[in-house]
A and B are shown apart, each in its own frame.
Chain A
Amino acid sequence: MFKTLLIKEIQASIIDFRFWVITLLCICIIPLSFYVSVKNYSQRLSDYRQEVQTYREATSVWYDMVAEGIHPPSPLSIFSQGMDEKMPYKVLTSRDGRYRIETAKPDNKYDLMGKMDFAYIVVMVLSILALVFTFNAISGDKENGIFRMVLSNPVLRRQVLLAKLIGNYLVFLIPFLLSLLIALLIVWFSGMVPIFSSQFFPAVLIMLGVSLLFLLTLFNLGLWVSSFAKNSALSINVLLLIWILTGLVIPKISPIISGVIYPVESTGVFEGKKAYLIANIIKEQRAEETELYEEIKAELRPESEINVSGNMDDEVNVEFDNRVLPIREKYEKRLASEVDKLTVDYKIRVDKQNRIAGAISSLSVINLANNLMAEFSATGATEAENFLNQAKQFQEQVNTDVYAKFIFREYFSKGASSSSVQQIAGAGEIKIPLMDAYRYVPLQDVFMNNLKDILLIAAYCLLFFVGAFISFTRFDVR
């Protein structure tokens, strides 16, 4: 019986004009989007290489050099560019340990709505097509009385519902999977990203799995609304409203709401506060060092007159070098502790704001799926955090490889200051530091980090199915 219902659903879906519209759309846009994404990736990779090359050629090793660590574009960004254009993408090291992070800027003012990559096609285009495919699956049959004919036979309602779900879903997947296969072959032949290699294919499979689960969730939602709506017009209106809320409103409004519920000052204000704090501590340190220098000078040359020319005294300098260390240590510790405190406090508050936004946005299954695509394409929040960690490590690497190879001395006295640099490694021994062995987060870790969101989509899927099941099995056929 179920087989008869399923075959009928498959046949009915295939001869429906919507199937052919969706097929045409999928065949056109999925391979095209991958083709464009590969081109775009190739361009970004070439830009990255050029930037590294320029840095390598234009930078020379010195005690206060600024080493650059640049984030290479993720090969899987051809699936989802995610936060790529808003991600931290360059670290600029500093001798004092306070490295700076630069954020990439969108390269085109028309990018405001995001690029049409695979993630966009699945979560925005196919999601709405899934609803168009299902809105009248039940309400239509209810409306025109076909259910009266069908249910006058010895069939279980749950079989009818399952046949509708599975039949429609399978037919919907035909153009989707076919177009995706064509697209992946295009990527493979382009030679830019070895998509079928063991390095990338597991992530591709997970993204495919997420897409299938997401589309199934949308099908269940469509069937649920179609089950309780009295007619197809009401069904499509309710579904469009839900889609607008979950696809357009919630993702855009969640950061705004979290900002209102839990306001946190902007990065600009925070950086300003930090700079002010650092400047004040350094000012205090310099005053104390100047005082010490003057003290030593007075001790060693009590009879001497004030050196109006401002020349530093070597003997004084040596003594100063010996006695300044506790002061420097004290200020280094203070600087580290106060800057850390400020940074950690800011990070905690930003994280809390992000968590609130995340909680609100997880009301939207579209947002969850989009986020997962970015995460598995290494263009999401996990990768941004990974880059920040590697930036820190890069700073430490440059500390060891470059900054520690130079002894830098600074002297402050009233009205004068001087400094000296001593290189303790041989010329040519110090190489220009490069962040060339960039490590992406292992897939397993990304998966575990995002398992909660995957399970949440699965929960939505189940909830919508149960809703459809209850609505469909309990409605009165009148």
Chain B
Amino acid sequence: MLQAIELTKRYEDGQLALDALNLEIKPGEIFFLLGANGAGKTTTINLFLNFIEPTSGQAIIDGIDVMKDPLETKNYISYVSENVMLYGNFTARQNLDFFAKLGGKSHLNKEDYYTIMRKVGLQEQAFEKKLKTFSKGMRQKVGLAIAIIKDAPNILLDEPTSGLDPKSAAELMQILKNLRNAGKSILMCTHDILRAKSVADRVGIMKEGRLVMLRDREEFLQDDLEQLYLEYMQETVMMP
């Protein structure tokens, strides 16, 4: 379970990137965090990953405060970035092996890696190819394979579908659904409203560091999510 309590981040230059965020993502839930660039989505993820320290408030993963025991919390979280960058001179399998070991899975063999790579839809002939020859979509799939193999109860995804072709994006969504069904708490930051509509259990819209809207699936399916999003964005543009 992922929890943010009054989570606030103000950078050294005075910019308020996240303003008292309160959020709870339960096991078996996919939460979509929508918002324009600079709205505070990535800052939220960075705080959960202890990449930056909060100015105030708490980020809690499975009951453990990230600030108090950052190393322990990382056992319970997987992360897929917007643009998965791995070791270009290593093959997909070698990358998977390295990150699996980092994530504490040291007993896996080649066949286990192949199974996971098949699961995320990577072509067989790419398994032993160097990552530097991969397209962005293929790299994202390896990134997802790394997140899956870690088998952590919480998954953070930072705009994982940007730059992906529709088929790959759809495959990714299917995998997320499967992970949700397996009881994972999933936080996905994105601009992709269409995916949110099809997959999310809840959505939140962020604007200038604040969570300005929170809707359950039933609620946002009744409203026009796209319209809501645009209204919030427009307000942002019009603000002095």
Q: Do A and B come from one complex?
A: yes
- Chain B's closest residue to A148 (CB) is B81
| Cross-chain contact of B98 among A4, A144, A476 (Cβ < 8 A) | A4
- Across-interface contacts of B83 in A (CB, < 8 A): 145
Among the 9-residue stretches A151-159, A377-385, A458-466, the one with 4 or more Cβ atoms under 8 Å from chain B is A151-159
> If the complex has contacts A148-B51, A148-B81, A149-B81, are A4 and B101 also in contact, measured as CB distance less than 8 A?
yes
Instruction: Tell me if B81 and A476 are in contact (CB < 8 A).
Output: no
- Chain B's closest residue to A147 (CB) is B51
Instruction: Tell me if A149 and B51 are in contact (CB < 8 A).
Output: no
Q: CA separation between A337 and B103, bound complex, in Å?
A: 80
* Contact residues, A1-32 vs B (CB, 8 A): 1, 4-5, 8, 11-12, 15-16
- Across-interface contacts of A145 in B (CB, < 8 A): 81, 83-85
- Across-interface contacts of A154 in B (CB, < 8 A): 71-72, 74-75, 102-104
> If the complex has contacts A155-B102, A476-B52, A477-B52, are A12 and B77 also in contact, measured as CB distance less than 8 A?
no
Distance in Å from the Cβ of A140 to the closest Cβ of chain B?
10
Distance in Å from the Cβ of B109 to the closest Cβ of chain A?
16
Distance in Å from the Cβ of A474 to the closest Cβ of chain B?
10
- Across-interface contacts of A261 in B (CB, < 8 A): none
- Across-interface contacts of A404 in B (CB, < 8 A): none
Instruction: Tell me if B101 and A151 are in contact (CB < 8 A).
Output: no
- Across-interface contacts of A16 in B (CB, < 8 A): 89
Distance in Å from the Cβ of A167 to the closest Cβ of chain B?
13
B205 close to A (CB within 8 Å): no
- Across-interface contacts of A153 in B (CB, < 8 A): 74, 99, 102-104, 150
- Across-interface contacts of A15 in B (CB, < 8 A): 89-90
Q: CA separation between A386 and B116, bound complex, in Å?
A: 72
A146 close to B (CB within 8 Å): yes
| Cross-chain contact of B79 among A11, A146, A149, A478 (Cβ < 8 A) | A149
Instruction: Tell me if A149 and B143 are in contact (CB < 8 A).
Output: yes
Q: Which of A1, A12, A153, A478 has the most CB of B within 10 A?
A: A153
Instruction: Tell me if A149 and B84 are in contact (CB < 8 A).
Output: yes
- Across-interface contacts of B143 in A (CB, < 8 A): 149
> If the complex has contacts A1-B102, A4-B102, are A151 and B89 also in contact, measured as CB distance less than 8 A?
no
> If the complex has contacts A149-B143, A149-B146, A154-B74, are A12 and B46 also in contact, measured as CB distance less than 8 A?
no
> If the complex has contacts A4-B98, A152-B79, A153-B103, are A146 and B87 also in contact, measured as CB distance less than 8 A?
yes
Q: CA separation between A476 and B87, bound complex, in Å?
A: 21
- Across-interface contacts of B150 in A (CB, < 8 A): 153
* Contact residues, B65-84 vs A (CB, 8 A): 71-72, 74-75, 77-79, 81, 83-84
Q: CA separation between A465 and B99, bound complex, in Å?
A: 26
Q: CA separation between A12 and B132, bound complex, in Å?
A: 13
Q: CA separation between A148 and B83, bound complex, in Å?
A: 11
A150 close to B (CB within 8 Å): yes
Q: CA separation between A152 and B83, bound complex, in Å?
A: 15
Distance in Å from the Cβ of B195 to the closest Cβ of chain A?
22
- Chain A's closest residue to B94 (CB) is A11
B86 close to A (CB within 8 Å): yes
- Across-interface contacts of A146 in B (CB, < 8 A): 85-87
- Across-interface contacts of A4 in B (CB, < 8 A): 98, 101-102, 106
- Chain A's closest residue to B150 (CB) is A153
- Other 18 A-B pairs with CB < 8 A, given A8-B98, A146-B87: A5-B102, A15-B90, A144-B85, A145-B83, A148-B81, A149-B85, A149-B86, A149-B99, A149-B146, A150-B99, A151-B49, A152-B77, A153-B150, A154-B71, A154-B74, A155-B74, A476-B46, A477-B49
In the complex, 16 of the A-B residue pairs with CB atoms within 8 angstroms, ordered by the A residue number, are A4-B101, A4-B106, A11-B90, A145-B84, A146-B87, A148-B81, A149-B85, A149-B143, A150-B99, A152-B156, A154-B75, A154-B102, A154-B104, A155-B71, A155-B74, A478-B52
